[in-house]
Chains A and B, each alone.
Chain A
């Protein structure tokens, strides 16, 4: 599946790389794989982003299932008034 990091701080961890191909079952796996490649990135994604899985926006949580071929975007978290 395609994983894209939109949050501007994520570049600090990845040296600017924004897109990845990852195989995983849950969002937890996605975060673990990314954190293994770029130590510290996992905590950034957990604490400071929301996630869009095939466009549906969720708070980042381990249990979200991710299907093969889906698109995952870690985006800046939104708050309203």
Chain B
């Protein structure tokens, strides 16, 4: 697959890098855009879900007879309505799917494993009747001891979520079951020799709280499934093809018998790459014979959908007096939630990735406990290990008396630097982000009393993978671009920009849409910062096919050979021997003759895009700590990120601004608070406090553009790495302000105040 079609060096870009209004903008400011909860069908029923009041309990029996007898109730389902799934891990190691787990997370079977775990669902003619029916369902629970904390869950006498779970990744396998689902380890060099050669060694331990993605739109969908085995879903997700595949599997249907319409999505950040309500709505619809809509409440979202993992970590770094890193060791223990599958592998891979360190060991544990199953969240895993690694890096720089940015620059990875997971880095970009912050006026700005400055960096892979796009020329010469990528933050604008640039036409002559699962080829989820890269390649490939066709049509009009026509600035142009014979023919003119030259003009391209280049970010944070209350105010925040190339400048800036602010929330406020019974106490936006406008300054963005040669316009990815350094940048700033190192997230006022009053210095 040759993606390198468009000249990188010296190319003049007309539209790439500008910030036009998005194609889906007006419906979103007028209230007409339709999100997951905004669809309705005639005869539609309301679905509601009964959830576990226990953190851990065996289900002895469920009696639904009274609920079924209630007038207006049309269907009641439990786990019995879903086929049993084989116990096997399928797919890639890091995100191996085990449908035995997935069907149990969607609807509890033998046991409930967390407060809020779904145990039954009903469909009724009104919301009120559905809610009343839930109260009539009798579940006979046998409460079991539970465990919430990751360190407690790893103890030998901890209550077991799965009585037969043997840790994977240990050879020979342990003889006893535990809550440790998996152990992973990466190594390069000789760790002991590395630390022996170090002049200074710093070791610290850290804890981070699980945090929720916090999208404003709760999960919602509308399902219309027939008893004859076909169905339709309107669902807000980060990947309607994945919704289709998972829902079909859990309902034992063929993938082709499920059609998923992509509703507008009200935020996801990784949390909508999995399914919760879709198979329940589908099963209720199939059983009742009516369309069924399910909307989660915010409480449901907090109690039953994926946060990212909390963690317990220890990081040790060894350095020479001259600042050369010689050894690093990290042990990262991650809460997976109630089922295996935390992002700990990413954490072990990303933590030390920005640095050239010859001797590294990185160990991870995936640990289950009685809390909701974790789901992907913005650069999954990387921000967590980066909090530990970048905090220790800050302490190491202080120990040897080096400027923290220059220390990072001295050890920054570049093309050819080995990674702990094996291959060498193939792209530059990290050093450029450090230099951008070094050169930023903020780095030299004076600080006042109780103020401090911190810096930190981060790495994220960015992804490629499977994507599909079609490009059709309309009768009037305008163009429609359709892709299979859910648009979560303006990607339709980016697709339209790349299509217009490639075809040489105006941005306003291109409409970009997201097509349903029956109207476009398979496209993987909107996640991993992959859409503008991978789907962008598909769009450009389809445009190239259209250009070939446009040239052939023009050749026919001019009675030239197809090889005698080239495409330039949106026009067909005679070339070679025919050069100058005819005036260039614009796309509109070719389109006008389409019927005479063979009919409609369009093309599809499907790719498995490789060569995604990683993203690096370096961030600076200034804080002021109130010594009376321990409250931390963010005074200034600068983010420099290598994006490869920004296609839509404003939306790329927006990714950086949004990612940083999520990181600030993670650093200062956000956490799940449980009582002794394993009940979540803060399942709402009042008590789970995400950053609000008055908490923040303007986030200052620096777009570093070191182009990726594997993308026609140089894209690397914009969405994720911005969150990676943020918590460490805040922690390092607090340390700078109060000479106390906070190692336990969130750094809420009581913890900061306690640190101020403690004798321990950072």
Contact A79 B463 (CB under 8 A): yes
Which one, B95, B186, B378, B529, contacts A77 given CB within 8 A? Answer: B95
B699 contacts partner chain A, Cβ-Cβ < 8 Å: no
- Alpha-carbon separation in the docked complex, A57 to B528 (Å): 13
- Measured between beta carbons, the chain A residues less than 8 angstroms from B464 are 57-59
Interface residues of A in 67-81 (CB under 8 A from B): 71, 73, 75-81
Contact status of A64 and B93, CB under 8 A, knowing A54-B426, A71-B423: no
CA distance A49 to B609 in the complex (A): 15
Q: Say if the beta carbon of A6 comes within 8 Å of chain B.
A: yes
Knowing A8-B184, A56-B710 are in contact, say whether A50-B92 is a contact too (CB < 8 A): yes
Most buried by A among B96, B213, B460, B463: B463
Find out whether the CB atom of B376 lies under 8 angstroms from the CB atom of A58.
no
Are A48 and B608 in contact (CB-based, < 8 A)?
no
Q: Which of B1, B171, B380, B426 contacts A81 (CB 8 A)?
A: B380
* Contact across chains for B421 and A80 when beta carbons are under 8 A apart: no
Kindly state whether residue A17 has any CB partner on chain B within 8 Å.
no
* Complex alpha-carbon distance, A57 and B710, angstroms: 11
With the chains together, A45 CA to B528 CA distance in Å? 21
Tell whether, in the assembled complex, residue A48 and residue B92 are in contact, meaning their CB atoms are under 8 Å apart: yes
In contact, A58 and B610 (Cβ under 8 angstroms)? yes
Interface residues of B in 600-621 (CB under 8 A from A): 608-612
Question: Contacting A76 at CB < 8 Å: which of B94, B525, B608?
Answer: B94
* Interface check A24, CB cutoff 8 A: no
Asked if B379 CB lies within 8 Å of chain A CBs, one says: yes
Q: How far is the CA of A8 from the CA of B170 in the complex (A)?
A: 10
The interface centre, meaning the residue of B460, B525, B608 with most chain A CB atoms within 10 A of its CB, is B608
The contact of B528 among A6, A63, A79, by CB within 8 Å, is A79
B interface, size bucket: 35 or more
Contact status of A4 and B426, CB under 8 A, knowing A80-B528, A80-B529, A81-B527? no
Q: Which of these, B213, B380, B610, contacts A80 with CB under 8 Å?
A: B380
Q: Is the CB of A80 within 8 A of B463?
A: yes
Q: Are A6 and B92 in contact (CB under 8 A)?
A: no
Most chain B CB neighbours (cut-off 10 Å) among A49, A63, A77 = A77
B421 & A75 in contact (Cβ 8 Å cutoff):
yes
What distance in Å separates the Cβ of B525 from its nearest Cβ neighbour in chain A? Answer: 8
Contact A78 to B610, CB < 8 A, known contacts A7-B93, A63-B1? no
In the complex, the answer to whether A49 meets B720 with C-beta atoms within 8 Å is: no
A61 to B534, CA, bound (A): 15
Contact in complex: B92, A79 (CB < 8 Å): yes
Is A9 at the interface (CB under 8 A from chain B)? Answer: yes
Q: How many residues of A contact B (CB 8 A)?
A: 29
- B300 interface residue per 8 A CB criterion: no
CB <8 Å contact, B611 and A81: no
Q: Among residues 78 to 116 in chain B, which have CB atoms less than 8 Å away from a CB atom of chain A? A: 90-96
Residues of chain B lying within 8 A (CB to CB) of residue A81:
213, 268-271, 273, 376-380, 527-528, 720
Contact B91 A47, beta carbon cutoff 8 Å: yes
B residues within 8 A CB of A48?
A: 91-93, 96
Chain B residues, CB < 8 A from A54 = 423-424, 426
- Contacting residues, chain A, for B186 (C-beta < 8 A): 6
Interface contact B463-A78, CB-CB below 8 Å: yes
Cβ distance B609 to chain A, nearest Cβ, rounded Å: 8
Q: Fill in one digit per residue for B342-380: 1 if any A CB lies within 8 Å of its CB, else 0.
A: 000110010000000000000000000000000011111
The reply on A52 being an interface residue by CB < 8 A is yes
Instruction: Map CB proximity to A onto B410-446 as digits: 1 under 8 Å, 0 otherwise.
Output: 0000011000011111110000000000000000000
In the bound assembly, the distance between CA atoms of A48 and B377 in angstroms comes to: 21
* Nearest-CB residue, chain A, relative to B184: A8
Whether the pair B92, A75 counts as a contact (CB closer than 8 A) is no
A16-69: which have CB < 8 Å to B? 47-50, 52, 54-59, 61, 63-64
Q: Considering the chains assembled together, what is the distance between the CA atoms of A23 and B95 in angstroms?
A: 31
Contact bitstring B518-551, A, C-beta under 8 A = 1, else 0: 0000000101111000000000000000000000
Q: Mark B184-199, 1 if CB is under 8 A from A, else 0.
A: 1010000000000000
| A65–chain B nearest beta-carbon distance, Å | 11
What is the distance, in angstroms, from B480's C-beta to the closest C-beta of chain A? 28
Tell which of A4, A49, A61, A80 touches B461, judged by Cβ atoms closer than 8 Å: A80
- Nearest residue, chain B, Cβ from A72: B423
* B466 lies within 8 A of chain A by Cβ: yes
Q: Nearest chain B CB to A75's CB is how many angstroms away?
A: 5
Q: Which residue of B lies closest to A77 (CB)?
A: B92
Interface residues of B in 452-496 (CB under 8 A from A): 460-466
**Shortest distance between the CB of B189 and any CB in chain A (Å):** 15
Give A54 to B422 CA distance when docked, in angstroms.
11
Query: Please, which residues of chain B bring their CB within 8 A of the CB of A52?
Result: 422-423, 426
B93 and A80 within 8 A (CB): no
Residues in B whose Cβ lies below 8 Å from that of A8: 93, 169, 184
**Smallest Cβ distance from A30 to chain B, in angstroms?**
14
**Which B residues are CB-close (under 8 A) to A71?**
423-424
Do B270 and A80 touch across chains, with their CB atoms under 8 A apart? yes
| Distance of A78 Cα from B524 Cα, bound (Å) | 13
A80 touching B422, Cβ below 8 Å = no
CB-CB under 8 A from B462, the residues of chain A are 80
* Most A C-beta atoms less than 10 A away, residue of B92, B94, B379, B530: B92
Contact residues in A for B609 (Cβ distance below 8 Å):
59
Interface string of A1-18 (1 = CB under 8 A from B): 000101111010000000
Q: Shortest CB–CB separation between residue B65 and chain A, in angstroms? A: 42
**Does the CB pair A80–B460 fall under 8 Å?**
yes
Cβ of B181 to closest chain A Cβ, rounded Å: 13
A43 to chain B, nearest CB (A): 11
A16 to chain B, nearest CB (A): 8
Pair A79/B422 contact, Cβ less than 8 Å: no
CA distance A75 to B269 in the complex (A): 25
Q: Which residues of A contact B529 (CB under 8 A)?
A: 80
Of B346, B416, B608, the contact of A59 (CB 8 Å cutoff): B608
Chain B, Cβ-Cβ closest to A61: B608
Q: Tell which of A48, A56, A57 has the most Cβ of chain B within 10 Å.
A: A57
Contact A73-B610, Cβ < 8 Å, known A56-B710, A59-B464, A81-B377: no
Name 30 interchain pairs, CB-CB below 8 A, sorted by A: A4-B422, A8-B93, A11-B171, A48-B93, A48-B96, A50-B92, A52-B422, A54-B424, A55-B416, A55-B423, A55-B424, A56-B426, A56-B611, A57-B464, A57-B612, A59-B464, A59-B466, A59-B608, A59-B610, A71-B424, A75-B423, A77-B94, A77-B95, A78-B461, A78-B463, A79-B376, A80-B379, A80-B462, A80-B463, A81-B720
Q: A11-B171, A59-B609, A80-B378 are in contact. List 11 more A-B contacts (CB 8 A).
A: A52-B422, A56-B611, A61-B608, A76-B93, A76-B94, A76-B345, A78-B463, A80-B460, A80-B528, A81-B270, A81-B720
Q: Which 10 A-B pairs have the closest CB atoms?
A: A81-B270, A80-B528, A58-B610, A55-B426, A77-B92, A52-B423, A81-B376, A73-B423, A73-B422, A76-B93
Q: What residues of chain B have their CB less than 8 Å away from a CB belonging to chain A?
A: 1, 90-96, 169, 171, 184, 186, 213, 268-271, 273, 345-346, 349, 376-380, 415-416, 421-427, 460-466, 525, 527-530, 608-612, 710, 719-720
